[in-house]
Amino acid sequence: MAKITFITSDGETKELEGSSGSVMELAVEHNIKGIDGNCGGVCSCATCHVHVRPEDMEKTGPGSEIEMDMLELDDNTDEYSRLSCQLPISDAIDGVVLTVAK
């Protein structure tokens, strides 16, 4: 079980709990604005971009090469960017705070 906090582009904060699947799926399930997950979670569309709170990067780790390349599609990418479909939910990421990219 992991608690994950989303901050959307209009400043809304939502705390969600999940135990399986990906962070993208959890976000879509709860209609988090700005996370579309159009490709269904296969790292093909870059519509689930989040910025990880810097101190939480240790928990999430960096993205894979293909993920980092895909992130370059977005102009707002920074060193804390991840595609949330590539973040599996587990105890390891309990407490992370994610800002949905614009």
Partner 1 sequence: MSDNSVTSICVIIGASHAGASCAFALRSEGWLGRIIIYDTDAELPYHRPPLSKTYLTAEQEIASSPLKSAESYEREDITLKLGIRVSSIDRNKKRIYLKDGATQTYDKLVLATGARPIIPPVSGLEDAQSVFALRTLADVEGIRKALGNNAATKKVVVIGGGYIGLEIAASLTKLGSKVTVLERQKRILERVTSVEMSNFFSNLHTENRVRIATGKNVTSVEQKDIDQNVICSDGSAYPADIILIGVGIYVNQELAEKAGIVIGNGIKVDGSSKTSDTNIYAIGDCTNHHNPHYDKAVRLESVQNAVDQAKVAAAAICGKEAIYDAIPWFWSDQYDVKLQIVGLSEGYDNYIVRQEEKEGHCFSIWYFNGDKLLSVDAVNNAKAYVLGTRFIKTGQLIDKEKLANSTEAFKPANLVVA
| Chain residues that interact with partner 1, rule: CB under 8 A | 25, 28-31, 33, 36, 38-45, 65-67, 69-70, 72-73
Calpha distance 70→15 (Å, rounded): 27
CB of 38 to partner 1, least distance (A): 5
CB of 58 to partner 1, least distance (A): 25
CB of 53 to partner 1, least distance (A): 25
Q: How many CA atoms lie within 13 A of 19 on its CB side?
A: 1
Q: Is the Cβ of residue 1 or residue 66 nearer to partner 1 in the bound state?
A: 66
Distance of CA 84 to the CA centre of its chain: 3
Q: Is the Cβ of residue 11 or residue 42 nearer to partner 1 in the bound state?
A: 42
The b-or-e profile of 33-54 (16+ CB within 10 A means b, else e) is: ebbebeeebebebbbbbbbbbe
Q: Is the Cβ of residue 66 or residue 92 nearer to partner 1 in the bound state?
A: 66
CB of 100 to partner 1, least distance (A): 13
Say which residues have a Cβ less than 8 Å from residue 69's Cβ, sequence separation at least 6. none
